[in-house]
Amino acid sequence: MSDKPIPVTSPLLPPLEEFIPYLEEIWKSRILTNCGTMHQALEQALCEYLGVQHVALFANGTLALVAALQALRITGEVITTPYSFVATSHSLLWSGLEPVFVDIDSHTLNLDPAKVEAAITPRTTAIMPVHCYGNPCAVDAIQRIADTYGLRVIYDAAHAFGVKDEGGSILRHGDLSILSFHATKVFNTFEGGAVICPDEMTLQRINHLKNFGFADEVTVVMPGINGKMNEVSAAFGLLQLKHIDRALEQRRSIDRHYRELLAGVSGVCCLECGYQAFANHAYFPILVGEAFPLSRDELHHYLRDNGILVRRYFYPLISDFPMYHGRPSAKPANLPVARAVTEQVLCLPIYPGLGRQDVERIAGLISAASLMNTRTHREW
Protein backbone atom coordinates (compact mmCIF):
# COMPACT_ATOMS: atom_id res chain seq x y z
CA MET A 1 0.00 0.00 0.00
CA SER A 2 1.19 3.50 -0.76
CA ASP A 3 1.40 6.32 1.77
CA LYS A 4 -0.75 8.88 0.01
CA PRO A 5 -3.46 8.19 -2.57
CA ILE A 6 -2.73 9.45 -6.09
CA PRO A 7 -5.72 11.31 -7.60
CA VAL A 8 -6.63 11.03 -11.27
CA THR A 9 -6.11 14.77 -11.68
CA SER A 10 -4.85 17.69 -9.63
CA PRO A 11 -5.26 21.39 -10.42
CA LEU A 12 -2.54 23.51 -11.97
CA LEU A 13 -1.76 25.71 -8.96
CA PRO A 14 1.07 28.26 -9.37
CA PRO A 15 2.95 29.41 -6.23
CA LEU A 16 0.63 31.45 -3.99
CA GLU A 17 3.03 34.41 -3.75
CA GLU A 18 2.71 34.90 -7.50
CA PHE A 19 -1.03 35.41 -7.10
CA ILE A 20 -0.79 38.11 -4.39
CA PRO A 21 0.02 41.02 -6.75
CA TYR A 22 -3.11 40.23 -8.80
CA LEU A 23 -5.23 40.27 -5.65
CA GLU A 24 -3.69 43.57 -4.57
CA GLU A 25 -4.65 45.07 -7.89
CA ILE A 26 -8.25 43.86 -7.53
CA TRP A 27 -8.46 45.21 -3.96
CA LYS A 28 -7.09 48.55 -5.12
CA SER A 29 -9.61 48.82 -7.96
CA ARG A 30 -12.50 47.64 -5.75
CA ILE A 31 -13.98 46.02 -8.85
CA LEU A 32 -14.74 42.36 -8.12
CA THR A 33 -16.82 41.44 -11.14
CA ASN A 34 -18.97 42.87 -14.00
CA CYS A 35 -16.36 42.39 -16.72
CA GLY A 36 -13.60 44.50 -15.16
CA THR A 37 -9.97 44.83 -16.23
CA MET A 38 -8.95 41.24 -15.31
CA HIS A 39 -11.89 39.86 -17.29
CA GLN A 40 -11.01 41.96 -20.34
CA ALA A 41 -7.32 41.16 -20.06
CA LEU A 42 -7.96 37.40 -19.88
CA GLU A 43 -10.28 37.46 -22.90
CA GLN A 44 -7.57 39.26 -24.87
CA ALA A 45 -4.77 36.98 -23.61
CA LEU A 46 -6.76 33.83 -24.45
CA CYS A 47 -7.50 35.07 -27.98
CA GLU A 48 -3.76 35.40 -28.49
CA TYR A 49 -2.72 32.21 -26.73
CA LEU A 50 -5.35 30.02 -28.39
CA GLY A 51 -5.16 31.76 -31.78
CA VAL A 52 -8.92 32.49 -32.04
CA GLN A 53 -11.00 35.53 -33.02
CA HIS A 54 -13.15 36.10 -29.92
CA VAL A 55 -13.44 34.67 -26.42
CA ALA A 56 -16.40 35.36 -24.12
CA LEU A 57 -15.62 34.31 -20.54
CA PHE A 58 -18.23 32.57 -18.39
CA ALA A 59 -18.67 31.54 -14.76
CA ASN A 60 -18.47 27.88 -15.87
CA GLY A 61 -18.54 25.69 -18.96
CA THR A 62 -22.14 24.56 -18.53
CA LEU A 63 -23.47 28.14 -18.66
CA ALA A 64 -21.26 28.68 -21.72
CA LEU A 65 -22.93 25.67 -23.43
CA VAL A 66 -26.43 26.94 -22.63
CA ALA A 67 -25.57 30.47 -23.82
CA ALA A 68 -24.04 29.11 -27.05
CA LEU A 69 -27.28 27.22 -27.83
CA GLN A 70 -29.37 30.31 -27.13
CA ALA A 71 -27.07 32.66 -29.04
CA LEU A 72 -27.68 30.58 -32.19
CA ARG A 73 -31.42 30.21 -31.41
CA ILE A 74 -31.20 26.43 -31.65
CA THR A 75 -34.61 24.66 -31.57
CA GLY A 76 -36.01 21.12 -31.80
CA GLU A 77 -33.57 18.21 -31.91
CA VAL A 78 -29.80 18.27 -31.45
CA ILE A 79 -27.57 15.34 -32.38
CA THR A 80 -24.98 14.57 -29.71
CA THR A 81 -22.76 11.88 -28.21
CA PRO A 82 -23.65 9.66 -25.25
CA TYR A 83 -19.95 9.33 -24.42
CA SER A 84 -19.19 12.53 -22.49
CA PHE A 85 -19.66 14.30 -19.19
CA VAL A 86 -23.35 14.69 -18.42
CA ALA A 87 -23.26 18.51 -18.79
CA THR A 88 -23.15 18.12 -22.58
CA SER A 89 -26.71 16.75 -22.75
CA HIS A 90 -27.95 18.63 -19.70
CA SER A 91 -27.26 21.90 -21.54
CA LEU A 92 -29.75 20.74 -24.18
CA LEU A 93 -32.48 19.94 -21.65
CA TRP A 94 -31.92 23.32 -19.92
CA SER A 95 -32.56 24.95 -23.29
CA GLY A 96 -35.73 22.96 -23.94
CA LEU A 97 -34.03 20.94 -26.68
CA GLU A 98 -34.30 17.25 -27.50
CA PRO A 99 -31.00 15.33 -27.40
CA VAL A 100 -30.66 12.63 -30.06
CA PHE A 101 -27.81 10.24 -29.33
CA VAL A 102 -25.58 8.93 -32.11
CA ASP A 103 -22.87 6.30 -31.60
CA ILE A 104 -19.13 7.03 -31.42
CA ASP A 105 -16.22 6.00 -33.59
CA SER A 106 -14.19 3.18 -32.01
CA HIS A 107 -10.82 4.89 -32.67
CA THR A 108 -11.48 8.51 -31.68
CA LEU A 109 -14.36 7.81 -29.24
CA ASN A 110 -16.00 10.90 -30.77
CA LEU A 111 -19.33 11.17 -32.62
CA ASP A 112 -19.19 8.85 -35.66
CA PRO A 113 -19.97 11.06 -38.70
CA ALA A 114 -21.02 7.99 -40.70
CA LYS A 115 -23.96 7.51 -38.32
CA VAL A 116 -25.11 11.12 -38.08
CA GLU A 117 -27.17 11.38 -41.28
CA ALA A 118 -29.51 8.54 -40.31
CA ALA A 119 -30.43 10.46 -37.13
CA ILE A 120 -31.40 13.70 -38.90
CA THR A 121 -35.15 14.49 -38.95
CA PRO A 122 -37.07 17.60 -40.07
CA ARG A 123 -36.78 18.85 -36.45
CA THR A 124 -32.97 18.60 -36.31
CA THR A 125 -31.27 22.00 -36.19
CA ALA A 126 -27.82 21.35 -34.77
CA ILE A 127 -25.04 18.91 -33.90
CA MET A 128 -23.21 19.08 -30.57
CA PRO A 129 -20.09 16.89 -30.78
CA VAL A 130 -17.42 16.63 -28.05
CA HIS A 131 -13.65 16.55 -28.61
CA CYS A 132 -13.47 13.75 -26.07
CA TYR A 133 -10.24 13.66 -23.98
CA GLY A 134 -9.03 16.54 -26.19
CA ASN A 135 -8.89 14.34 -29.30
CA PRO A 136 -10.31 16.23 -32.30
CA CYS A 137 -13.60 15.14 -33.86
CA ALA A 138 -13.88 14.39 -37.59
CA VAL A 139 -14.45 18.11 -38.12
CA ASP A 140 -14.50 18.08 -41.94
CA ALA A 141 -17.00 15.24 -42.22
CA ILE A 142 -19.23 16.85 -39.57
CA GLN A 143 -19.13 20.21 -41.36
CA ARG A 144 -20.02 18.57 -44.68
CA ILE A 145 -23.15 17.03 -43.13
CA ALA A 146 -24.03 20.33 -41.41
CA ASP A 147 -23.70 22.22 -44.71
CA THR A 148 -25.79 19.66 -46.60
CA TYR A 149 -28.67 19.77 -44.11
CA GLY A 150 -28.37 23.38 -42.96
CA LEU A 151 -27.43 22.48 -39.37
CA ARG A 152 -25.41 24.44 -36.82
CA VAL A 153 -22.41 22.87 -35.11
CA ILE A 154 -21.54 23.68 -31.49
CA TYR A 155 -18.47 21.87 -30.20
CA ASP A 156 -18.23 20.96 -26.55
CA ALA A 157 -14.47 21.52 -26.40
CA ALA A 158 -14.32 21.37 -22.59
CA HIS A 159 -11.36 18.95 -22.85
CA ALA A 160 -9.60 20.63 -25.75
CA PHE A 161 -7.80 23.68 -24.33
CA GLY A 162 -4.76 24.41 -26.51
CA VAL A 163 -5.36 21.55 -28.95
CA LYS A 164 -4.36 22.27 -32.54
CA ASP A 165 -4.60 20.46 -35.85
CA GLU A 166 -2.66 21.13 -39.06
CA GLY A 167 -4.57 24.37 -39.70
CA GLY A 168 -4.43 25.90 -36.20
CA SER A 169 -6.67 25.87 -33.14
CA ILE A 170 -9.23 23.07 -33.02
CA LEU A 171 -11.60 25.72 -31.62
CA ARG A 172 -11.99 27.42 -35.02
CA HIS A 173 -14.27 24.63 -36.31
CA GLY A 174 -18.07 24.73 -36.31
CA ASP A 175 -20.21 27.76 -35.46
CA LEU A 176 -19.13 27.99 -31.83
CA SER A 177 -16.97 26.05 -29.36
CA ILE A 178 -17.09 26.07 -25.60
CA LEU A 179 -14.30 25.52 -23.07
CA SER A 180 -14.45 24.63 -19.37
CA PHE A 181 -11.95 26.08 -16.89
CA HIS A 182 -13.13 23.93 -14.00
CA ALA A 183 -10.44 23.07 -11.43
CA THR A 184 -10.10 19.54 -12.85
CA LYS A 185 -9.36 20.74 -16.39
CA VAL A 186 -6.00 21.40 -18.08
CA PHE A 187 -6.36 25.18 -17.62
CA ASN A 188 -8.47 26.38 -14.70
CA THR A 189 -9.92 29.51 -13.12
CA PHE A 190 -11.31 27.57 -10.07
CA GLU A 191 -14.65 27.54 -11.91
CA GLY A 192 -14.95 29.05 -15.35
CA GLY A 193 -15.63 28.59 -19.02
CA ALA A 194 -15.76 30.37 -22.35
CA VAL A 195 -17.51 30.53 -25.69
CA ILE A 196 -15.14 30.76 -28.66
CA CYS A 197 -16.75 32.75 -31.41
CA PRO A 198 -15.64 33.69 -34.94
CA ASP A 199 -17.83 36.76 -35.58
CA GLU A 200 -18.61 39.99 -33.79
CA MET A 201 -22.41 39.86 -34.16
CA THR A 202 -22.69 36.51 -32.38
CA LEU A 203 -20.16 37.66 -29.78
CA GLN A 204 -22.38 40.62 -28.97
CA ARG A 205 -25.40 38.33 -28.45
CA ILE A 206 -23.32 36.07 -26.21
CA ASN A 207 -22.11 39.03 -24.15
CA HIS A 208 -25.70 40.22 -23.71
CA LEU A 209 -26.82 36.70 -22.80
CA LYS A 210 -24.25 36.36 -20.02
CA ASN A 211 -25.21 39.73 -18.46
CA PHE A 212 -29.01 39.50 -17.99
CA GLY A 213 -29.57 40.75 -21.54
CA PHE A 214 -28.28 44.26 -20.79
CA ALA A 215 -27.17 46.13 -23.91
CA ASP A 216 -26.59 49.29 -21.87
CA GLU A 217 -27.62 50.63 -18.45
CA VAL A 218 -31.29 50.99 -19.33
CA THR A 219 -31.78 48.60 -22.24
CA VAL A 220 -32.50 44.89 -21.84
CA VAL A 221 -32.64 43.15 -25.21
CA MET A 222 -33.17 39.50 -24.19
CA PRO A 223 -33.87 37.34 -21.14
CA GLY A 224 -30.21 36.75 -20.32
CA ILE A 225 -28.66 34.89 -17.42
CA ASN A 226 -25.90 35.82 -14.98
CA GLY A 227 -22.98 33.96 -16.57
CA LYS A 228 -20.10 36.36 -15.97
CA MET A 229 -16.69 35.28 -14.72
CA ASN A 230 -15.54 37.23 -11.64
CA GLU A 231 -12.29 39.22 -11.40
CA VAL A 232 -10.47 36.83 -9.02
CA SER A 233 -11.06 33.89 -11.34
CA ALA A 234 -9.99 35.94 -14.37
CA ALA A 235 -6.81 37.04 -12.57
CA PHE A 236 -6.05 33.41 -11.70
CA GLY A 237 -6.43 32.58 -15.40
CA LEU A 238 -3.93 35.30 -16.32
CA LEU A 239 -1.42 33.88 -13.84
CA GLN A 240 -2.07 30.36 -15.03
CA LEU A 241 -1.34 31.28 -18.63
CA LYS A 242 2.26 31.98 -17.58
CA HIS A 243 2.58 28.35 -16.45
CA ILE A 244 0.49 26.54 -19.02
CA ASP A 245 3.19 25.68 -21.55
CA ARG A 246 5.32 24.03 -18.90
CA ALA A 247 2.27 22.15 -17.58
CA LEU A 248 1.42 20.89 -21.08
CA GLU A 249 5.03 19.73 -21.53
CA GLN A 250 4.85 17.78 -18.28
CA ARG A 251 1.60 16.16 -19.40
CA ARG A 252 3.21 15.22 -22.70
CA SER A 253 6.12 13.53 -20.99
CA ILE A 254 3.84 11.58 -18.60
CA ASP A 255 1.78 10.45 -21.60
CA ARG A 256 4.90 9.25 -23.39
CA HIS A 257 6.16 7.46 -20.28
CA TYR A 258 2.86 5.57 -19.76
CA ARG A 259 2.87 4.49 -23.41
CA GLU A 260 6.39 3.11 -23.14
CA LEU A 261 5.65 1.25 -19.92
CA LEU A 262 2.29 -0.16 -21.06
CA ALA A 263 3.37 -1.09 -24.60
CA GLY A 264 4.25 -4.65 -23.59
CA VAL A 265 1.20 -5.27 -21.39
CA SER A 266 -1.25 -7.47 -23.24
CA GLY A 267 -4.96 -6.78 -22.94
CA VAL A 268 -4.69 -3.04 -22.30
CA CYS A 269 -4.80 -0.56 -25.12
CA CYS A 270 -3.87 3.14 -24.97
CA LEU A 271 -6.00 5.50 -27.01
CA GLU A 272 -4.12 6.91 -30.00
CA CYS A 273 -3.53 10.63 -30.01
CA GLY A 274 -0.46 10.99 -32.18
CA TYR A 275 -2.15 12.09 -35.41
CA GLN A 276 -2.76 15.69 -34.42
CA ALA A 277 -0.31 18.58 -34.54
CA PHE A 278 -0.70 19.40 -30.87
CA ALA A 279 -2.45 17.30 -28.22
CA ASN A 280 -3.00 18.53 -24.64
CA HIS A 281 -2.89 15.14 -22.85
CA ALA A 282 -5.83 16.17 -20.70
CA TYR A 283 -6.59 12.52 -19.84
CA PHE A 284 -4.88 9.16 -20.11
CA PRO A 285 -7.59 6.62 -20.96
CA ILE A 286 -6.84 2.93 -21.39
CA LEU A 287 -9.20 0.23 -22.63
CA VAL A 288 -9.18 -3.01 -20.66
CA GLY A 289 -9.90 -5.67 -23.27
CA GLU A 290 -11.09 -9.28 -23.21
CA ALA A 291 -7.47 -10.51 -23.22
CA PHE A 292 -6.79 -8.90 -19.84
CA PRO A 293 -7.22 -11.32 -16.91
CA LEU A 294 -9.22 -8.78 -14.86
CA SER A 295 -12.39 -7.02 -15.95
CA ARG A 296 -12.25 -3.22 -16.08
CA ASP A 297 -14.15 -3.02 -12.79
CA GLU A 298 -11.79 -5.50 -11.15
CA LEU A 299 -8.76 -3.51 -12.31
CA HIS A 300 -10.47 -0.32 -11.09
CA HIS A 301 -10.96 -1.94 -7.69
CA TYR A 302 -7.42 -3.32 -7.57
CA LEU A 303 -5.79 0.03 -8.40
CA ARG A 304 -8.00 1.89 -5.92
CA ASP A 305 -7.05 -0.62 -3.22
CA ASN A 306 -3.47 0.32 -3.99
CA GLY A 307 -4.13 4.03 -3.58
CA ILE A 308 -4.40 4.89 -7.28
CA LEU A 309 -7.66 6.80 -7.65
CA VAL A 310 -8.37 5.92 -11.29
CA ARG A 311 -11.74 6.97 -12.71
CA ARG A 312 -14.18 5.35 -15.13
CA TYR A 313 -14.60 8.33 -17.47
CA PHE A 314 -17.15 7.95 -19.08
CA TYR A 315 -19.29 5.43 -17.27
CA PRO A 316 -22.26 5.20 -17.23
CA LEU A 317 -23.13 6.58 -20.66
CA ILE A 318 -25.18 9.80 -20.54
CA SER A 319 -27.94 7.93 -22.36
CA ASP A 320 -28.26 5.56 -19.38
CA PHE A 321 -29.15 8.27 -16.85
CA PRO A 322 -32.85 8.29 -15.97
CA MET A 323 -33.71 11.59 -17.65
CA TYR A 324 -32.37 10.25 -20.98
CA HIS A 325 -32.76 6.49 -21.09
CA GLY A 326 -36.38 6.41 -22.28
CA ARG A 327 -35.54 8.07 -25.59
CA PRO A 328 -35.44 5.85 -28.71
CA SER A 329 -31.89 7.02 -29.55
CA ALA A 330 -30.72 6.01 -26.04
CA LYS A 331 -31.50 2.31 -26.68
CA PRO A 332 -28.43 0.05 -26.31
CA ALA A 333 -28.85 -1.33 -29.85
CA ASN A 334 -28.39 2.21 -31.23
CA LEU A 335 -25.08 2.72 -29.41
CA PRO A 336 -23.03 -0.50 -29.62
CA VAL A 337 -19.59 1.12 -29.74
CA ALA A 338 -20.21 3.55 -26.87
CA ARG A 339 -21.68 0.65 -24.90
CA ALA A 340 -18.57 -1.50 -25.38
CA VAL A 341 -16.15 1.34 -24.61
CA THR A 342 -17.94 2.47 -21.45
CA GLU A 343 -17.44 -1.05 -20.05
CA GLN A 344 -13.69 -1.05 -20.86
CA VAL A 345 -12.38 2.44 -20.19
CA LEU A 346 -10.26 3.53 -17.25
CA CYS A 347 -8.55 6.93 -16.93
CA LEU A 348 -5.12 6.87 -15.27
CA PRO A 349 -3.70 9.78 -13.23
CA ILE A 350 -2.14 12.52 -15.34
CA TYR A 351 -1.32 16.06 -14.16
CA PRO A 352 1.74 18.29 -13.91
CA GLY A 353 3.56 17.29 -10.75
CA LEU A 354 2.80 13.57 -11.03
CA GLY A 355 6.24 11.99 -10.51
CA ARG A 356 8.00 9.58 -12.86
CA GLN A 357 8.14 7.06 -10.02
CA ASP A 358 4.38 7.30 -9.54
CA VAL A 359 3.85 6.63 -13.26
CA GLU A 360 6.17 3.63 -12.96
CA ARG A 361 4.31 2.31 -9.92
CA ILE A 362 0.92 2.67 -11.63
CA ALA A 363 2.11 0.96 -14.81
CA GLY A 364 3.83 -1.68 -12.65
CA LEU A 365 0.55 -2.49 -10.89
CA ILE A 366 -1.27 -2.84 -14.22
CA SER A 367 1.53 -5.00 -15.53
CA ALA A 368 1.37 -7.21 -12.41
CA ALA A 369 -2.41 -7.50 -12.81
CA SER A 370 -1.93 -8.61 -16.41
CA LEU A 371 -0.09 -11.68 -15.08
CA MET A 372 -2.90 -12.78 -12.76
CA ASN A 373 -4.48 -15.88 -14.12
CA THR A 374 -8.22 -15.49 -14.10
CA ARG A 375 -10.93 -12.88 -14.52
CA THR A 376 -12.55 -13.91 -11.27
CA HIS A 377 -9.36 -13.90 -9.21
CA ARG A 378 -9.95 -11.62 -6.22
CA GLU A 379 -7.15 -12.29 -3.78
CA TRP A 380 -5.99 -8.72 -3.26
Ligand X SMILES: *Cc1c(COP(=O)(O)O)cnc(C)c1O
Please report the sign of the dihedral spanned by the C-alpha atoms of residue 319, residue 323, residue 328, residue 331.
positive
Residue 104: strand, helix, or coil: strand
Residues in the chain: 380
Please say whether the beta carbons of 89 and 97 come within 8 A: no
For ligand X, the nearest residue by Cβ is 61
**How far is the CA of 257 from the CAs of 142, 284, 298, 308, in angstroms?**
33, 11, 24, 17
Asked if 99 is part of the footprint of ligand X (rule: CB under 6 A), the reply reads no
Report d(CA 5, CA 7) in Å as an integer.
Answer: 6
Q: Which is nearer to ligand X, 61 or 136 (CB)?
A: 61
Q: Nearer Cβ to ligand X, position 59 or 359? A: 59
The site string for ligand X over 181-220 (x = CB under 6 A, - otherwise) reads -x----------x---------------------------
Answer yes or no: are the C-beta atoms of 203 and 68 closer than 8 Å.
no
SS3 180: strand
Nearer to ligand X, 171 or 369 (CB): 171
Does 158 bind ligand X (CB under 6 A)? Our answer is yes
Q: Which of 46, 50, 62, 255 binds ligand X (CB under 6 A)?
A: 62
Segment contacting ligand X by CB under 6 A, of 35-43, 83-91, 296-304, 365-373: 83-91
Least Å from the CB of residue 193 to ligand X: 5
Nearer to ligand X, 131 or 339 (CB): 131
Q: Is 61 in the site for ligand X (CB under 6 A)?
A: yes
Using the rule CB under 6 A, give the single segment among 20-28, 54-62, 233-241, 271-279 that binds ligand X: 54-62
Q: What is 144-198 written as a DSSP string?
A: HHHHHHT-EEEEE-TT-TT-EETTEEGGGSSSEEEEE--TTSSS--SS-EEEEES
Q: How many of the chain's residues bind ligand X (CB under 6 A)?
A: 14
Q: For binding to ligand X (CB under 6 A), which residues are involved? A: 60-62, 84-85, 87-88, 130, 156, 158-159, 180, 182, 193
